[in-house]
């Protein structure tokens, strides 16, 4: 599929319109982790796959789970089913997922990191890219297809520490102790991310999101060096290959640093976690579209907590370029009927 030849169809999709700066009423809606364990059909497919990574690397099954929430709720976007850690896996640092623990990697030293070869990523991730093509071919024409990757800082935290932590202290210590060596790891991940995202666009993605889930662990200097600058380079690198590529950044938990991130990176939209004040979010709309930011626990609780939360977010941000989403991913204990109600509330439908 030629990205450029699809542009006329692409620009008709509602989320693409929002990313281009248009105000839409009602706003488009999708959810982070919308294909996942809160859905019975996902759990059945996951069991069929055998393991989480087997599911990520099986194009047909990855396509199936990506489509499941679209069939059920009619979201305005489908997001590729995969994981941010397929990139280090492709680079030769094996990843496994343990139930109740999460991802486990053999920690990589910075000397070894300097020898990583980003050019292998698209070949190693061919099954994931095949899934992108299958999903695009299977989606309704009006539905946006989002690709994604993890931001270099967030991916590096897992590569260096071997697993996640609440404050990323192991990776911060390494980064401050050998900043030049850590920069080299970030450089490899920037190049790998550009190659991977470009390939997703070429297979049919309309836009991509870059998840910097642990950006909030960085101080001001570290945020500039290891979150802002890598994202700026990714945006520029992708657009050098895919002119006009639409890119969403999601630096979670960074507070007031969001203004600097938006100004410096050139993203089309910024994802907002649920702690971002809505009046501050409205200021960001002067520069780019915003996406978010309902607290996922309101979706779990349902009732008036859900209704008032949706109403506040839409009322505050609906008069500018805006994509409704959660402030982080949907959780496994979310009632499926609450998701249906949320979508109806956003769209102004009777529930």
**Which sequence positions are flagged as catalytic?**
33, 37, 46, 83, 158
Q: Is 36 annotated as a binding residue?
A: yes
83 marked as part of a ligand binding site: yes
Q: Is residue 215 part of a domain?
A: yes
Residue with tokens 């949706």: 310
135 within domain boundaries: yes
Answer yes or no: is 334 within a domain: yes
Tell which residue, 163, 151, 135, 158, has the closest CA to residue 197. 151
What backbone torsions phi and psi does residue 146 show, to the nearest 5 degrees? -100, 130
Domain count within the chain:
1
Structure tokens at 118: 């980003």
Query: Is position 257 within any domain?
Result: yes
Residue whose C-alpha is closest to residue 329's, from 104, 18, 38: 38
Is 351 a member of any domain? no
Distance CA 288, CA 286 (A): 6
Asked if 148 and 82 count as a contact pair (C-beta separation under 8 A), the reply is yes
Range of the domain at 110: 4-345
Query: CA angle, 238 as apex, 232 and 241 as ends, to 5°?
Result: 140
The CATH number of whichever domain residue 144 belongs to comes to 3.20.20.210
Instruction: Report whether 158 belongs to an annotated binding site.
Output: yes
Question: Is 33 annotated as ligand-binding?
Answer: yes
Show pLDDT as tens, one digit a residue, over the chain (351 residues): 455 556 666 778 999 999 999 999 999 999 999 999 999 999 999 999 999 999 999 999 999 999 999 999 999 999 999 999 999 999 999 999 987 788 999 999 999 998 999 999 999 999 999 999 999 999 999 999 999 999 999 999 999 999 888 899 999 999 999 999 999 999 999 999 999 999 999 999 999 999 999 999 999 999 999 999 999 999 999 999 999 999 999 999 999 999 999 999 999 999 999 999 999 999 999 999 999 999 999 999 999 999 999 999 999 999 999 999 999 999 999 999 999 999 999 999 865
Whose CA is closest to 336, among 151, 148, 72? 72
Residue 347 annotated as binding? Answer: no
CA dihedral 236, 329, 205, 77 (to 10 degrees): -130
Does residue 350 belong to any structural domain of this protein? Answer: no
């Amino acid at each position: 599929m030629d990205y450029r030849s699809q542009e006329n169809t692409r620009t008709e999709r509602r989320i693409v319109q929002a990313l281009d700066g248009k105000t839409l009423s009602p706003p488009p809606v999708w959810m982070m982790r919308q294909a996942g364990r809160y859905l019975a059909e996902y759990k059945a497919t996951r069991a069929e796959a055998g393991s989480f990574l087997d599911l990520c690397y099986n194009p047909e099954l990855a396509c199936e789970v990506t489509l499941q929430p679209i069939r059920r709720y009619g979201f305005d976007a489908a997001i590729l089913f995969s994981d941010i850690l397929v990139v280090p896996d492709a680079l030769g640092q094996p990843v496994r997922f343990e139930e109740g623990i999460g991802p486990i990697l053999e920690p990589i030293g910075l000397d070894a990191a300097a020898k990583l070869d980003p050019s292998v990523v698209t070949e190693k991730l061919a099954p994931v890219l095949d899934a992108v093509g299958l999903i695009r071919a299977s989606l309704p024409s009006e539905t946006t297809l989002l690709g994604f990757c993890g931001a270099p800082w967030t991916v590096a935290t897992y590569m260096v520490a071997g697993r996640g932590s609440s404050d990323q202290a192991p990776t911060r210590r390494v980064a401050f102790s050998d900043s030049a060596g850590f920069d080299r790891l970030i450089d490899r991940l920037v190049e790998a991310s550009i190659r991977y995202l470009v390939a997703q666009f070429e297979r049919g993605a309309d836009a991509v999101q870059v998840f910097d889930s642990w950006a909030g662990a960085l101080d001001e200097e570290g945020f500039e060096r290891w979150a802002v600058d890598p994202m700026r380079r990714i945006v520029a690198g992708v657009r050098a290959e895919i002119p006009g590529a639409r890119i969403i950044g999601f630096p979670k938990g960074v507070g007031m640093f969001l203004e600097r991130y938006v100004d410096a990176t050139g993203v089309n939209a910024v994802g907002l976690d649920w702690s971002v004040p809505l009046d501050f979010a409205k200021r960001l709309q002067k520069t780019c579209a915003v996406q978010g930011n309902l607290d996922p626990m309101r979706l779990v609780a349902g009732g008036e907590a859900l209704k008032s939360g949706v109403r506040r977010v839409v009322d505050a941000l609906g008069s500018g370029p805006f994509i409704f989403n959660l402030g982080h991913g949907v959780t496994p204990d979310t009632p499926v009927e609450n998701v249906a109600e949320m979508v109806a509330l956003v769209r102004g439908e009777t529930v």
